[in-house]
Structure 1
Amino acid sequence: MKPIELKGIISPILTPMFDDGSINLDELRLQVDRMIAHGIHGIFAFGTNGEGYILSASEKRSVLETVVDQVNGRVPVYAGTGAISTLETIEQSTMAKEVGADVLSIITPSFAAASQEELYIHFKAVAESVDMPIVLYNIPARTGNSIAPETVAKLSKIKNIVGVKDSSGNFSNILAYIEAGKEKDNGEFYTLSGNDQLITWTLMAGGTGGIAGCANVYPKTMASIYDLFISGDIEGARKTNESIQTFRSCFKYGNPNTIVKTATALLGHNVGPCRAPFNQVPQAGIDALKSVLNDNQSKNMH
């Protein structure tokens, strides 16, 4: 397994689509270059913001092949390979390794309730089947299953489980994950914030970055949170992190990743709509987005 540091701001890149829902791979290449040009530290294919939940297996391969080719080694490529079944998760993870991803992000199984022992056995089986760095992904609001800190500590003992992303929005949980990661005795364990508002706080607590959906709208601003922090300008990082709050306030108008994709399109990028049925934003939401985007442009947010 190739060693890799999980750090910085990783963009869960959008999957551009045409109006009929088919994938626009040419625009995907442009978005990869846009992210990297603005300082993003990693690209994450078909995460929540990339609509991984609604893409077929063949579409995921096509998206990942395009991302890996366009990145061309400039930054690490993460691939979201989690599925409801252990078998499909292993199949998707194997595909990602074949295509050339650097890191696997594996979400908890969804729909059916899982015990902590079932989650442990699931992640352990995947880790033993695919010799790649694995980031556990906790987003209980979407999956219905949460990884307990004790389970993270237990899983950290497995060599290629190297980190966790927490999107619960609960900072206490992030702190517990950071503490759990200290039990890893065969390498470093990384904790990433999946909540864009908590990135600076996660860094201050000992985490190493964030997988930030807002990076699709403001890649330069989001990347600079980490860069400012690492340079020692913690107050600058904190203020920059706070600057995205007006945009995040628009999330009340729809599914957050639908809002992110709509905002990116309003900025003039041909990313298209989200795939139906998750593609509706009311006119009040469009008006609010336009107002916030214009205001933030005047503040030189990019």
Structure 2
Amino acid sequence: MKTVDIKGIIPAIVTPMNEDETVNEQELRNQVNRQIEAGIHGIFPFGTNGEAYILSEDEKIRILEIVVEETKGRVPVYAGTGCISTKDTIRLSKRAQEAGADILSIITPSFAAASQEELYQHYKTVAEAVDMPIVLYNIPARTGNALAPYTVKRLSKIKNIIGVKDSSGNFDNILQYIEATREREDFKVLSGNDSLILWTLLAGGAGGIAGCANVYPEVMVSIYENFVAGKVEEARTAQDSIRTLRKCFRHGNPNTIVKTAVNLLGHPVGKCRAPFNYVPEACIEELKVVLEENRLAGMR
């Protein structure tokens, strides 16, 4: 099994689209290099911000192949391979391994309600079938299923399950994940909520998988780099600086708003796939103001 150090800021990179909703492969390569040049610590294609929910399996593998090829081993590549069924998750995970992924990020099954025992058995079966490091992914608002801290504790005893990303927005849940897995030093907890990255680090977590890094990769990286350098006030300034962007999320789907902001910065990543592609004019105008204010403040 690959040994990968999970840490820092891992962008949940957007999937650039052409006008006909096909993947814009050249712009995907451009965005990979933009992120790496900003100092990010890993890269995560077809996560939530990468529109995994609306990509076909073959599209996911093609995107992964491009990211792996363009990354050239400079940072670890995370692949989101969670499906509703255990069988499908294993199949996609094996395809991702063949395509060169370094780490699997596996979201909980969705739609049908799952018990904690069913979730445990799902992840255990996948882990036994794939010889790769796995990061659990908890985002109950999108999937309808939440990984309880005691389930994460049980799963942390499986060798190749090496971390968990929490996007619940509940900081106490992150704290409980950290407390529940403290006895295993190489198990890492990541924030999936960009506003909680510094606080997760202060509590003993390892960093975050960040959608806002699509807009401000250098700022997001500075949260982590300042923290590890002992510059907590500088890290807090960077953490606080993304608040105005995140306030724009009240207008709709955060993924769509992030992608709109990246376009407004001059990167032709296109729209999200329909029907998740509507941004009200009020949001666009607010984004323009926020992006200009942040540009003048030196945010990149």
Task: Tell me, in whole angstroms, the C-alpha distance in 2 between the residues paired with 1:41 and 1:241.
Answer: 17
Match of 1:277 in 2: 275
Per-residue CA distance 1:144-171 (angstroms, 9 max, x = gap)? 0000000000000000000000000100
Match of 1:141 in 2: 141
1:3 CA displacement: 1.3
Match of 1:237 in 2: 235
Per-residue CA distance 1:70-126 (angstroms, 9 max, x = gap)? 000000000000011111111110011000110000000000000000000000010
Which of 210, 225, 228 is equivalent to 1:227? 225
Match of 2:19 in 1: 19
Alignment of 1:1-302 (within 5 A): 1-184=1-184, 188-302=186-300
Per-residue CA distance 1:126-145 (angstroms, 9 max, x = gap)? 00010100000000000000
Q: For structure 2, which runs of at least 5 residues remain unmatched after alignment?
A: none
1:272 CA displacement: 0.2
Task: Tell me, in whole angstroms, the C-alpha distance in 2 between the residues paired with 1:180 and 1:152.
Answer: 7
Task: Tell me, in whole angstroms, the C-alpha distance in 2 between the residues paired with 1:132 and 1:235.
Answer: 37
Kept in 2, the 8 Å contact 1:25–1:66? The answer is: yes
1:254 CA displacement: 1.1
Kept in 2, the 8 Å contact 1:127–1:134? The answer is: yes
Kept in 2, the 8 Å contact 1:162–1:189? The answer is: yes
The alignment's TM-score, normalised by the length of structure 1, stands at 0.98
Aligned length: 300
Give the aligned CA root-mean-square deviation in angstroms: 0.7
Kept in 2, the 8 Å contact 1:153–1:183? The answer is: no
* SS of equivalent to 2:43: strand
1:224 CA displacement: 0.7
Per-residue CA distance 1:183-220 (angstroms, 9 max, x = gap)? 43xx6100000000000000000000000000000000
* SS of equivalent to 2:91: helix
Task: Tell me, in whole angstroms, the C-alpha distance in 1 between the residues paired with 2:182 and 2:131.
Answer: 22
The one-letter amino acid of 2:224's match is: Y
Identity of aligned residues (%): 67
1:235 CA displacement: 1.1
1:45 CA displacement: 1.1
Task: Tell me, in whole angstroms, the C-alpha distance in 1 between the residues paired with 2:7 and 2:200.
Answer: 12
* SS of equivalent to 2:15: coil
Kept in 2, the 8 Å contact 1:163–1:181? The answer is: no
Comparing 62-71 and 173-182, the one that deviates more: 173-182
Task: Tell me, in whole angstroms, the C-alpha distance in 2 between the residues paired with 1:181 and 1:261.
Answer: 34
Q: For structure 1, which runs of at least 5 residues remain unmatched after alignment?
A: none
The alignment's TM-score, normalised by the length of structure 2, stands at 0.99
The one-letter amino acid of 1:203's match is: L
1:181 CA displacement: 1.3
The one-letter amino acid of 1:110's match is: S
Kept in 2, the 8 Å contact 1:156–1:183? The answer is: no
Task: Tell me, in whole angstroms, the C-alpha distance in 1 between the residues paired with 2:45 and 2:90.
Answer: 17
Per-residue CA distance 1:255-295 (angstroms, 9 max, x = gap)? 00000000000100010000000000000010011010011
